[in-house]
Copies of this chain bind each other. A is one copy, B any other.
Amino acid sequence: MTTKTIDPWGSVLVEDYTKLIKDFGLEHFSHYLELFPSPSRLMRRGVVFAGRDVKRVADAIKKKEDFYVLSGIMPSAERIHLGTKMVIEDIRYFQDHGADTYVLVADLEAAAARGITLEEGRKRALEFYIPAYIALGLDPKKTTFYFQSENKEVMHLAYEFAKKITANEFEAIYGSNEPGKMFSALTQVGDILYPQLKKRRPGIIPVGIDQDPHIRLTRDIAARTKAKYGFVPPSGIYNRYTPALNGKLKMSKSEPESCIELPEDAKSACKKIKNAVTGGRDTLEEHRKLGAVIEKDMVFELLKQHLVEDDSELQKIHDDYKSGKMTSGELKQIACEKMTAFLADFSTKLEKARQNVDKLKFVAFN
């Protein structure tokens, strides 16, 4: 185990994704891209920048073998933000390629860490989070849901796994050995391996890089319980953060002016886009002459990560903007229009998903 740690509970600046890949022993996803059929927009554009043991999952897709994708919902807030959308798109990619899908509601974590009662967590999940996930692309017909607090088997695994790791090892992975973090982390390990109780099989967990400790711990524990359980070590894929509109690394609701929330009304979103950090030059003359500094442009990043599905359309915007033919104002106008359409579509789908929430498939616990 590496002693490099990244804290899944804190905020860290990740300046250099390539360095991260090296430090954490991850795979460059681009090296494996061709193994994945019809790669998603996020994969093609390097938003999915890293992986862990991804060939295992690509093989399962190729051979049409059973595998699963799993993600969690933390029902602690009233709204989500655009960054969450990427994880859902990752899930959708694997759903479309045959993955048995699990989405759990981390109501225990929301209760312990944020003081959200289990009842309130359940309500928020059913009335907002799960419908929002479906509105963002999750296929409810292919998804099994459960509430962490109801899943005794997950809690049993967490309890058992706690004996399989020392405090020092835990600290090496997480940079902390606080009891609350141990419960949280080991319960997540239980969640990640839970779908294998039914059947041993590869699994893929799409996460932000700050969640990698959970993947590493799970893989360690799968190795240590091999004789008893024979769990297949789960694989991970890692998304870049959606940057904040002010240019900071990670979009966050703590800076609402630089964060597109979901739901949000189009007028408010467009205003935020208008105030975003761009790569436009100080004067129009200079812009026409030098073109935009596109890698510093948060609006272009927004289009690339979220709003333009078609690669050739994005390429044209890129070329026009980079050459100076397109101004920041025009780029923002495009982003505003696309964002408006996206938000309207999201609202419609959210409402529809809400009305169908009673048709969801939940794990039946005895």
- Identify the A interface with B (CB < 8 A): 108, 111-113, 118, 149-150, 152, 155-156, 158-160, 162-167, 170, 176-180, 182-184, 186-187
Contact = CB atoms under 8 A, between A and B. Distances in A.
Contacts of A111: 156, 159-160
Given A152-B149, A152-B152, A177-B177, A183 B165 contact: no
Given A170-B179, A183-B183, A186-B179, A113 B155 contact: no
Contact of A180 (B108, B163, B180): B163
A150 B152 CA distance: 7
A113 B163 contact: yes
Give this chain's copy count: 2
Contacts of A155: 152, 155, 159
A167 B156 contact: no
Q: Interface majority SS on A: helix, strand, loop or mixed?
A: helix
Contacts of A159: 108, 111-112, 155, 183, 187
Contacts of A164: 180
A164 to B, nearest CB: 8
A178 B179 CA distance: 9
A124 B170 CA distance: 34
Nearest to A165: B179
A161 to B, nearest CB: 8
A118 B159 CA distance: 12
Contacts of A186: 179, 183
A162 B149 contact: no
A156 B155 CA distance: 9
A162 B182 contact: yes
A349 to B, nearest CB: 33
B183 A166 contact: no
Nearest to A118: B156
A83 B216 CA distance: 44
Q: A-B pairs with the 8 shortest C-beta distances?
A: A163-B180, A162-B183, A162-B179, A162-B180, A155-B155, A112-B160, A167-B177, A179-B182
Given A155-B159, A158-B183, A159-B183, 20 more contacts: A108-B160, A111-B156, A111-B159, A111-B160, A112-B162, A112-B163, A118-B156, A149-B152, A152-B152, A155-B155, A159-B187, A162-B182, A162-B183, A164-B180, A165-B179, A166-B179, A167-B167, A167-B178, A177-B177, A179-B182
A176 B182 CA distance: 14
A317 B182 CA distance: 55
Interface centre among A152, A180, A184, A187 (most CB of B within 10 A): A180
A191 to B, nearest CB: 13
Identify which of A156, A179, A180 gathers the most chain B CB atoms within 10 Å of its CB: A179
A118 B160 CA distance: 11
A179 B164 CA distance: 9
7 contacts: A111-B156, A112-B163, A150-B152, A167-B176, A167-B177, A177-B177, A183-B183
A174 to B, nearest CB: 11
Contacts of A162: 112, 179-180, 182-184
A160 to B, nearest CB: 5
Contacts of A182: 162, 179, 182-183
B156 A149 contact: yes
Contacts of A118: 156
A168 to B, nearest CB: 9
